Chain A
Amino acid sequence: MKKSLILVVVLALVLGTVAAVSAAESKGLIYVITPSHANPFFGAEAEIAVARAEELGYTTKSVSHDDDANKQMELFETAIAEGAVAIILDNAGADATVSAVQKAKDAGIPTFLIDREISEEGIAAAQIVSNNYQGASMVAEYFVELMGEEGTYIELTGRDTDTNAHVRSQGFHDVIDEYEDMEMIAQDTANWDQNEAFAKMETMLQSHPDVKGVICGNDTMALGAHAALVAAGKGDVIVMGFDGSDDVIQSIRDGGIKATGLQPVATISIAAVDQADYYLTNGEFEKEEKQSIDCVLINAENACMYEKFAPIEGVTSCE
């Protein structure tokens, strides 16, 4: 019996810290569902959405589906059971998410998708995404420029099962493949993962010690690859990422990674919450479903002007 008591106490402690957060008056509950916050990109995305929603007078719950479509479905069902008024979602797979969003719609709960699209239209209230293709092409153009339009490079792609991985890779290649002297000597997935990118880079350096550039599908992989290059004494290899995370911006300012495509996360998250609020207040959608927001190229010239996926107010130059 004593042990069950301990169990009660522990649970009470864990939960008690949270229970205090319930608000007195609220315009309703908004669920913010994203991939694991272990990646700062998703952490920022959720944080900004939550802050905006609370500013507008909603209670919020920020949860993570850890890229497991089944868990995402469970979270949707929980949200529905709990009577949420809207769901802000960065989803766990374009195809595997459709049924969950449909379920919410059937229950009268609008879902505002951010960051990633799903494969069907007319189910979600909005799909607000950064223009991955535009961003990738933009990064690729700068990559070609720094490479001097020639030389060998390696590409690290994101998780095979993720649409954005394919879109970005496509964006890269549509630009780079135009240049005949640019030669891709290796391509592999590092599953968006920093550690895996580090290990893969180390391995590839064994067979391609004289590589000139590395282009990565996201920032965490870029950081991993760059760390491996520095460790091998090849810090001058041109590395570029995608996302615009603070870590990479810092690295750009320190002269490490050369550039990244910043996804306007702040804009997207705020837009999603605002549109949800508009819908809940006026009963109609503010904008059309598919909305695409352009990415911004971050390089040594403008790196100091951005923080937390948004421009820093009042800073207009890096001099």
Chain B
Amino acid sequence: MTMTEKAERKAAAENPPSEQEEVIFRAEKITKIYPGTVALDEVDFEIYRGKVNVLVGENGAGKSTLMKILAGVEQPTSGQLYLNGKQIENSSIIEAGKNGIGIIFQEMMIFPNLTVTENLFIGREKLNQGIVSNKVQREETVRILNQMEQPIDPDRLVGELRVGQQQIIEIARAISENKRILIMDEPTSALSNSEVTVLFQLMRELLVKGVTIVYISHKLEELMQIGDYVTVLRDGKRVAAAKIRDIDLSWIIRWMVGEKQGMFTYYQKRELGEELMRVEDITLPRIGGGYSVDHVSFTVRKGEILGLYGFVGSGRTELFECLCGCAKDATGTIFIHGKEVRSKKITGRIMDGIILVPENRQVDGLVQTMSVGGNIVLSSLRKYIKGFSLSKKEEKKAVAEKISEISIKVSDPNRLITSLSGGNQQKVVVSRALLTDPTILLLDEPTRGIDVGAKSEIFQIVNKLASQGYGIIFVSTELKEVIAIADRILVMSKGKITGEFLREEATEEALVTASAIGHELKGGAHA
């Protein structure tokens, strides 16, 4: 810790945010020890009534553990919880629920195979003589959704809803349970901007009704916008707390990251080379008519980072699927180094030099049962065959090379992949892709759900890769990220490319405007 930091920390500790606001819930000296690790170390945490109480920290700082303790999912090793000044025991999630505390998890706890109504009442069905009363449940659902001004059909299967709507269903469930304190763990990680707007509006309405919100997010701009109080955790300790009004973004980053480097390593100027990939007329029909990807054409040059921006549902994910060989019904032609790509399958496309680093690491990226090393070499096994068998030596060499090149933090590559933090897991997926010697690297939201420090490293890596001559297409829902990293930005909306901006021309406004073409933005213009 530097001297200034120490002083600041002292100041922050001595000046806890204004006493006049009412503390509804207080956690005191919470310590949580897992076998061999201290997740939380005497953490204090105050929650103010009717406010948005923000909790920030890097991955592994202990946010999720603290939330789980508040919600009764986990029990603290030591420390006390006070609700309205009275000591309580949240011995289970049900007990916490009785105390009026509800949690919306980072991984959504919805049942895609059940209807909206059924989801809302799962586990506490309204019974009429032992039989589920669908009518009562449905009426209640309609009432709550109307109250939230969300016109969602209560009989639809939740799996058919957009991600944003699914999130709203989760919130509706918490509301229908009359929760006084609502914990939201990364609720916006899967939402598009307009959906975030809707969510924030909803949160503000909840506040007016006296609901207290505890909010966790990696998206710092969001926190500044919606939060009232902020508490920063680092390495299992509470390092600072303040009123959002009194601070700025850099304050938060400073406390979160400590001495580590700042948020973005900015764009590095480099020479763009010859054309690597040309895509012509890529089209993917949508089930039920129309196109998910509507006759898209573009090129990527050597050493170029091409940003791709658009809302959820704009077709950017589908475009990636067409490129990487995941979409069976895709048509159109792709040229790599001027040669047409014939293969329609993932395996073939990888051989031709196109590989995708998927958005959802856990679902599409990692083989959780395998080691770090096993994951890294998975795509490039044929390179290590000596005679009939895989050569341990060659594998080891490749793994060690990538671990140092991409600076993956792991002491032993034989460890299970799940023992790494999110950022390092992402680097593993990137390493695997690089080992296939790709021409074009498709990065789908590579920074999703990882902390600021890791994000910054990922940006450095992407920059470095571009300088080495890879062509990179980079998708992100975060405007600032796209603008910070890309040489050129394509904006998609409704399956079409609706805007193309060189680095110099790209502004947030221009991108948003282009991404809304074909959409009518509804309401939500709340400041």
Tell whether any CB of A sits under 8 Å from a CB of B in the complex.
no
